[in-house]
Amino acid sequence: MILVTGGRGFIGAHTVRALLDLGEGCVLGQRAAGPPPALVTEREVRDGRAVVEPMDCIDLGSVLAAGKRHRVTGIVHLAAAGMGASAPLEELSANAAGLFTVLRAAQEWGVGRVVVASTIGVYAGVPGPALREDAPLPVASPHAIPAGKKIAEVVADVAASSGLDVVTARIGAIWGPLGRPSSPFFAAPRLVHAAAQDIAADGGVAGTVAGTVAGAAAPAYAEDAIDMCYARDCGRALALLQTTATPRHRTYNIGGGRAVANREVAAAIGRAVPGAEPALLCALFPGRSPAAPAVDACLDISRLRQDTGYAPEWDLDRAVTDYVGWLRAGNPR
């Protein structure tokens, strides 16, 4: 079985779903107790193909306990300290300790592969437009998250040189079912939620769409763009990295392969939710943010395509329609 740390979380749930679709069984390691995510079927739980295990990645004993109950053959390590839940140094310490614990467990179990989550944020300061895995990364980081992921990548490289099969995944801006309704890094989630909330409220698109978006903490500019990857595609990419027989590299980008502007997102929502686009466009600031880079960068996903056969299946229109449908159906987030 594949251990997915943080398996009940956002990206974790989609990774579990993709692994199950590939015929793998999954152990969902999660610090907080609770049921399997909505993407897992009751039958898969009854059949023992998806099992939730209480686990604190900082506690080696709690991680190793899962290996006594299940034959763990691979690990996708996604668990991390809650963003902003503690001081930056404490967050870095907890995440580093969790990674060391997972790698120690991998050694003891003799697992086939460990996939370690990194982020597009490690490329901050790298010139675009296409961000490649072999680009030199600056040592400094503007935020605790990319700083922690750079630490994780160095540790993963050392583990790989010590004989473990470790692959690092630099993940772009992920959005979709079970994700946060608002992100501090890009506007798409709150644009979709704003339109979906109006539908739920009165069956149409009212002025609260604009109010919801305009009232957000971070202004959303029409021309600001970011490499967006739909959560279902992200989960499948991580599952492929875990199960591909012989990856040729140790670091892979996971993204959509292009930068998507907020105005494109608004237009796609308008096609999925007639009447939403004008309100959303009114809520967006014109042009680009003063803090936006001169060139919109995207993740080069050539390695991922070549080594795993991955290609994004959820284009913008299909993804928006799916996400709106998920929210209208009353699903969580």
Residue 242: pLDDT over 90: yes
**Res. 258 pLDDT band, cuts 50 70 90:** very high
**What residues are paired with 53 via a beta bridge?**
29
pTM here is 0.92
Question: Whole-angstrom Cα distance, residue 55 to residue 126?
Answer: 36
DSSP state of 31: S
Model pLDDT, residue 33:
72
Residue 212: pLDDT over 80: no
Structure tokens at 276: 């939403």
* pLDDT mean over 150-159: 94
* Residue range 117-145, pLDDT digits in tens: 999 999 988 988 999 999 999 998 878 88
Residue 184: pLDDT over 60: yes
Task: Give the distance between the most distant pair of CA atoms in the chain.
Answer: 59
Sequence spans of domains, the chain:
2-171, 175-226+258-328
Structure tokens at 18: 């993709």
Higher pLDDT, 82 or 41: 41
Residue 217: pLDDT over 90: no
* pLDDT mean over 219-245: 95
Residue 84: pLDDT over 80: no
Residue type at position 275: G
Residue 193: pLDDT over 60: yes
Mean per-residue pLDDT over the chain, rounded: 89
**Res. 224 pLDDT band, cuts 50 70 90:** very high
Residue 202: pLDDT over 50: no
**Res. 261 pLDDT band, cuts 50 70 90:** very high
Higher pLDDT, 275 or 300: 300
Note the CATH number of domain 2-171.
3.40.50.720
Q: Is the dihedral of CA 86, 90, 93, 97 positive or negative?
A: negative
Higher pLDDT, 242 or 145: 242
Question: Whole-angstrom Cα distance, residue 292 to residue 295?
Answer: 8
Angle of the 188-202 helix axis to the 276-283 helix axis, nearest 10 = 130
Structure tokens at 39: 């993407």
Question: Whole-angstrom Cα distance, residue 83 to residue 244?
Answer: 31
Higher pLDDT, 88 or 139: 139
Residue 273: pLDDT over 80: yes
Model pLDDT, residue 201:
44
Residue 152: pLDDT over 90: yes
Please name the fold of domain 175-226+258-328.
UDP-galactose 4-epimerase; domain 1 (3.90.25)
Structure tokens at 210: 């604009």
Question: Whole-angstrom Cα distance, residue 307 to residue 131?
Answer: 18
